[in-house]
Amino acid sequence: MKEKHEADLDVTKTLGIDQSSKKGKRLRGWFGWSISILIIGIVLTSLITYNKAEPVQFKTKTAERGDLTIIVTATGNLKPTNQVDVSSELSGIIKSVDVDYNDHVKVGQLLARLDTTKLEATVRKSKASLESARAKVLQAQATSKEKQAELDRMRKVYSLSGGKVPAKQDMDSAEAELERARANESSADAQVSQAQATLESDETNLTKATICSPINGVVLVRDVEPGQTVAASLSAPVLFTLAEDLAKMELHVDVDEADVGKVKKGQDAIFTVDAYPNRTFLARIAQVRYGSEMTGGVVTYKAVLTVDNSDLLLRPGMTATANITVRKISNAILVPNAAFRFSPPVENTGATEKQSGNSSVLSKILPHRPRRQNNSSNQNSGAISDSQQRVWTVRNGTAVSIQVTTGETDGMRTEITRGELQPGMALIVATMSEKK
């Protein structure tokens, strides 16, 4: 007791208070009331702040009834319906080029010409060989005729002499010489045929030195100049590229393997090109090929679309992005996809404690870890399939779930095929906290 009394004296001395004086008693009373009021203020402030939690508001969008168009997007390039590469079968020097880029050509029109000096000489040589072969035929025929006459004379003498003259050996020799003459005649005939074929081949090569258009079309590429040497010994070089009809073109697009099952022949599509970003062009699926292609590790399938290019705005090689309409759904209940991504917030822990009667002052002042939401009431006994999902609506200020069965989607809205959802119902897509 003595030590406590001495400690109190030290405190009063430090504060400059005389314990025996009335002034010291008033100061001690004021100090005690101040501490009590401060504690009560902190508690009340905590309770008011806790009870005034920020109310949760929901952002909603309305389910509506309307039409849904399902599209598949694919990219590709425009090509002519019939594109022909014109080459040269012969080697030589280009003597002249008679067409240029974008020229319209017809079947048989001259495109370019090779130097034909050597070819013309070869043709003349073949003609001379043919004439020589024909002369040999005449010579062989004369020899055969001569041997035949000689054999006939010997046979007549043999008959008149009663078989005494000429000798049997001479008769055999005459018959053998006649056979050899006939063989020479046949050989000469064969040489004529050979010389004729050689001449026709050389004349064909001479005509191929004149390169003509095989189709009616437009010159897309001219990869040759006068004086250029063409070497066609290993592979035929491409001199010209012709497009048959640019008024009708094809769009070849790569369809992803995940979408190829939806793309069918006869479906309509629209596409855009960079040259005309504010304009769309019409197309139609003409073919979906079974052969796959691997591009960057992605499996795609080629789809061919027919395009009307009567105004000639589109050009071969342009890159196009096509939207293929694979299905149209009319008068369907449509829900924004954001409604499927919403999940309700966890209930306030303080409200739960208030309902259970455990709302002590200490529990309201001290922070609590939020409790896990009990989702047992929202779970069905069976598993929910991929087409069965939940959306949420507001009833009496509370988020209430609705189970629905989904159908097709265009990436922004989804078709509802089954469920209690009705058009005009407000669906929660997000939460908003109103700060006071």
Tens of pLDDT, residue by residue over 242-292, are 999 899 999 999 999 999 999 999 999 999 999 999 999 999 999 999 999
CATH of the domain at 403: 2.40.420.20
Sheet holding 110-114, edge to edge: 210-212, 110-114, 92-97, 229-230
Q: Give the number of domains in the chain.
A: 5
Rounded CA-CA distance 416/122 in Å is: 81
Is the domain of 323 the same as that of 246?
A: yes
Q: pLDDT digits over 198-223, tens only?
A: 999 999 999 999 999 999 999 999 99
Is the domain of 14 the same as that of 38?
A: yes
Domain that holds residue 323: 71-81+240-330
Q: Taking a C-beta distance cutoff of 8 angstroms, is the pair 85, 241 a contact? A: yes
Neighbours of 224 (CB within 10 A): 19
Rounded CA-CA distance 435/85 in Å is: 73
Q: Answer yes or no: is pLDDT of 104 > 90.
A: yes
Residue 375, in any domain of the structure: no
CATH of the domain at 233: 2.40.50.100
Residue 155, in any domain of the structure: yes
Residue 258, in any domain of the structure: yes
Is the domain of 201 the same as that of 125?
A: yes
Is the domain of 25 the same as that of 160?
A: no
Residues in Cβ contact with 219 at an 8 Å cutoff, skipping those fewer than 6 apart: 99, 100, 101, 102, 103, 105, 240, 241, 242
Is the domain of 304 the same as that of 198?
A: no
CATH of the domain at 254: 2.40.30.170
Residue 104, in any domain of the structure: yes
Residue 198, in any domain of the structure: yes
Residue type, 135: A
Instruction: Name which residue leads in pLDDT, 52 or 127.
Output: 127
Is the domain of 46 the same as that of 60?
A: no
59 strand-pairing partners: 430
pLDDT classification of 435: cutoffs 50, 70, 90? very low
pLDDT classification of 361: cutoffs 50, 70, 90? very low
Residue 385 is predicted with a pLDDT of 52
Residue 264, in any domain of the structure: yes
Is the domain of 223 the same as that of 107?
A: yes
Residue 221, in any domain of the structure: yes
269 strand-pairing partners: 283, 324
Is the domain of 287 the same as that of 393?
A: no
Residue 367 is predicted with a pLDDT of 43
What backbone phi and psi angles, to 5 degrees, belong to 369? -80, 130
Is the domain of 94 the same as that of 235?
A: yes
Residue ranges of the alpha helices (H) in 103-246? Answer: 117-160, 168-208
pLDDT classification of 57: cutoffs 50, 70, 90? confident
Is the domain of 124 the same as that of 194?
A: yes
Is the domain of 31 the same as that of 171?
A: no
Q: Taking a C-beta distance cutoff of 8 angstroms, is the pair 270, 307 a contact? A: no
Is the domain of 18 the same as that of 32?
A: yes
Rounded CA-CA distance 338/282 in Å is: 32
Residue 223, in any domain of the structure: yes
